[in-house]
Amino acid sequence: MYCKLKAAFLLTLTLWAPQKGWAADILVIGDSLSAAYGIEEEDGWVNLLRERTGLSVRNAAITGDTTLGGRSRIDQLLAEEQPKLVMIELGGNDGLRGLSLKQMAENLSDMIEKTEATGAEAMLIGITLPPNYGAAFIRRFEKTFARLAEEYDTHFTPNLAAGLEKRLEWIQNDGIHPNELAQPLMLDNVLAHAPDWVKNAGQ
C-alpha cells in the first residue's frame, strides 16, 4: 500500500513540475509606462501584448523604477522566468531625475549582457524627455539608447511613446503618463521592432 501511495505521489509531482517551472516567453522590466500607471492593468500595453500574441508575458515593471533598480532585480527575474525575450523599458526616470547618463548606460549594458548570457534575446525600449529638459540633454539621452542598441545589436524601439505628441488627449492629467487610449499605439511601437516570432504570434 505504501509503495502504491508513494508511486502516486511521485507521479503527481512529475505532472505538476512543468507548471511550477514555467518559463515566460517574454519578460518586461520597466517603469510606470509599462506598469499601467493611472489606468487599469488590463488596459496597459503589456497586457495587450499578451492578448494580441497569446504568448506568456511576465510584467515586472515597477512605477518609479530606474535602470539601477532594474539592474538590481534582473538576476532573480531571469532565474525565475527563464524568458526567451527580455524587453527592457527603463531610463525615463533616470532622465527625469537628472541622473548620470553614463551610469544609466552602464546599468542598461549590464542588463543586456546578463540577458544574453542566458541565451535569451534582449530588446531595448527607449523613450524621450519633455522639451523643458533642453535639446542638448535630450539628444544625449536618446543617443544613449541608440548607441547601446547598435553596440549589442539588440532589437530596439527608439521611442515607446512615439506619436503621442500629436494626441494630447491621450495623456493623463499629469502631462506625462499615457492613458488607456494610448496603449494600443505604444504596443504597435514595440511590435514594429520586436523579433519576428513575437510579431507573428497570434496570427
Number of residues assigned to the chain: 203
- 85-89 vs 121-125, strand pairing mode: parallel
Please list the active-site residues.
32, 174, 177
Please, are residues 31 and 63 in contact by the beta-carbon 8 Å criterion?
A: yes
Chain Cα centroid distance, residue 16: 29
Nearest Cα to 72, choosing from 26, 29, 125? 29
Q: Are strands 85-89 and 26-30 parallel, antiparallel or unpaired?
A: parallel
